Amino acid sequence: MKPEYDFRRAKRGALDPLPPGKTRITIRLDDHVLAWFKAQVHAAGGGNYQTLINIALVEHIQRLREPLEDTLRRVIREELPLGPRAVPEAPNEGSSPVRRAKTDVAGDRDPAGRAPRGSRPNGALQRTRCARR
C-alpha cells in the first residue's frame, strides 16, 4: 500500500458507465424468482440474469399493449400450417367426412389439423415418405 494516493483525476460515480437508455436501480425480488432466473442462465451456460429479467418484463409490456385482435391474429398465424388446405373427395357411402378428405398438398396435416403418424415434431414429413425410389 502506498503512503499516499493521487485522486486529482478521479471521477465520482459508478466504475462501469451505463449504455444509453439504461437506468441503474435497486429492486427487491422474491428469492424463488431470482433463483429461477439465475438457474436459466446457469442452464444456458452463462450470461446475465438481469438481462433475462429485462427481456421478460419487455415481453410482458408488449403483450399488455398489443390489442386483442392483433394477439389473436398472431396466435392464429403461429398455429395454422402454411399451404393449401384440405380438399374433400367425392363422398363414399359408409365413410366419415374426415376419412373422405384428402390431406393438403404437402401431406403434413389432415383436415382436423393433426400431423400424420411418423411425422416429425415440426410437421415436416420424414424423407422416406416423400421420396419414392
6-57 pLDDT per residue, tens: 889 888 876 778 889 999 899 999 999 999 999 999 999 999 999 999 999 9
The position carrying cell 486529482 is 8
Alpha-helical regions (H) of 86-126? 97-100
Does position 127 have pLDDT exceeding 50, yes or no? no
| 98 or 19, greater pLDDT | 19
| Rounded CA separation 104/88 (Å) | 10
Per-domain residue ranges of the chain? 31-79, 89-133
Give, to the nearest 10 degrees, the angle between helix 49-65 and helix 31-43.
110
Flag whether the pTM goes above 0.85: no
Q: What is the pLDDT of residue 90?
A: 55
Q: What is the pLDDT of residue 129?
A: 44
The dihedrals phi and psi of 120, each to the nearest 5 degrees, come to -80, 160
| 58 or 129, greater pLDDT | 58
- How would residue 114 be classed by pLDDT, with cut points 50, 70 and 90? low
Please give the average per-residue pLDDT across 104-110, as a whole number: 52
Please give the average per-residue pLDDT across 62-89, as a whole number: 78
Does position 124 have pLDDT exceeding 50, yes or no? no
* Helix (H/G/I), strand (E/B), else coil: 42: helix
| Rounded CA separation 40/5 (Å) | 43
- For the ranges 24-38, 60-74, 107-121, the lowest mean pLDDT is seen at 107-121
**CA distance to 49, 60, 66, 86, per residue, from 39 (Å):** 9, 20, 30, 44
